[in-house]
Structure 1
């Protein structure tokens, strides 16, 4: 009885298998699947390697592209501190966008429509550069005089000066530098010129050209 069951079940299956093997090619053209000549030995460039932000608590650590000390890194680091990179945010003091511009500062760089500014990321990027150019012109003598020195325990760099000017205005940075740290302006949230000077030190801001009349246009 068992032999009969096996014969009835296994035999048809074996026949189908033999037919399939007969129809399927017995050889493959492996040249079609060769990796010969392909560049397989590569590494991710350092510039885009993913690095961990160790400064944050472990449960809040995030991963971001490593940009080194480039101007782009400077710009994005400052934006993250200002607004976490949100183009469309307005803070409790009415400062606008990714870089948290005040309306009076916007007027100085040729922007008179805050609502349009807030909803136009491209204009916000232009505004950041225009404001940096203007501040660099205002502070050009202070940059030349103080860059490389230490004031109140902080190494003074051009990028630190420009970041502090973005926070507090060029006038407040002049007062900090020329008082050798005793005049340390703080904004409405308690963030000081000295803090920005230290946090954003050492970036390459040579891209920014001093321009007294810099305007933001798209």
Structure 2
């Protein structure tokens, strides 16, 4: 009998404690009706431009933060290459004289219709156009190799169109042809030791269908 009474008292006490905790843990409701921003100078960090297009490229505007997850999109492709080449710096010249975000040589720029390197270095939009034009040229030059090798493996690396175009940006289309047609035996490396094979692996699987093969593509 005593055990039953003790059990009953413990149960009752436990219920009281649970009810107390439940009531006390409820958030206090705040009446916001009395609050107003009238007369306060507000500072917005989001642009109020309603005419922004969805397809604007990531690098069209310099010195503005842009950090969405770009995945394997074309914008992701070019931004990844830009970061690898220069950490995304439009205004840099490396120790070998390569210029800008995508590290173009003067000879390549002349082929793209750009003769004034000072203007090129100061104009991010021109650098973006140059990247696309050069990729279009390389896609035309390598069109047969893209058709013949995409989907195959060389030295364990899955060959993709984006990997081929990235490697062509690094070394030129001719060196990429030699690499593919030698099945990896002729593996060009640049002045810093970066190889075609490294770019093939690092930039594989991006969507470069946006690029149209164009033998005469120009940036100007």
Counterpart check, 1:97 vs 2:100: yes
Aligned to 2:85, the other structure's residue is in SS state helix
Tell me the equivalent position of 1:160. Answer: 163
Q: Are positions 1:173 and 2:163 aligned together?
A: no
The one-character-per-residue Cα deviations of 1:178-205 (angstroms, maximum 9, x if unpaired) are 0000000000000000000000000000
Distance 1:133 1:122 in 2: 17
Q: Superposed, which structure 2 residues align to 1:37-186 within 5 Å?
A: 64-186=67-189
Give the superposition deviation at 1:66. 1.0
1:124-180 Cα deviation digits (max 9, x unpaired): 000000000000000000000000000111100000000000000000000000000
Q: Which runs of 5+ in 1 are unaligned?
A: 1-27, 34-62
TM-score by length of 2: 0.70
Report how many aligned residue pairs link the two structures: 161
User: What secondary structure does 1:65 align onto?
Assistant: coil
Cα distance change, pair 30–213 in 1 and its aligned pair in 2 (3 A):
same
Write the distance in 2 (CA, Å) between the matches of 1:190 and 1:65: 31
Q: 1:31 to 1:176 in 2, by over 3 A?
A: same
Per-residue CA deviations over 1:91-140 (Å, capped at 9, x if unaligned) read 00000000000000111111111111011111000000000000000000
**Match 2:195 to one of 188, 192, 196:** 192
The structure-2 alpha-carbon separation of the partners of 1:173 and 1:29, relative to structure 1 and needing over 3 Å to count, comes to closer
Please list every run of 5 or more consecutive structure 2 residues that lacks an aligned counterpart in the other structure. Answer: 1-30, 37-65
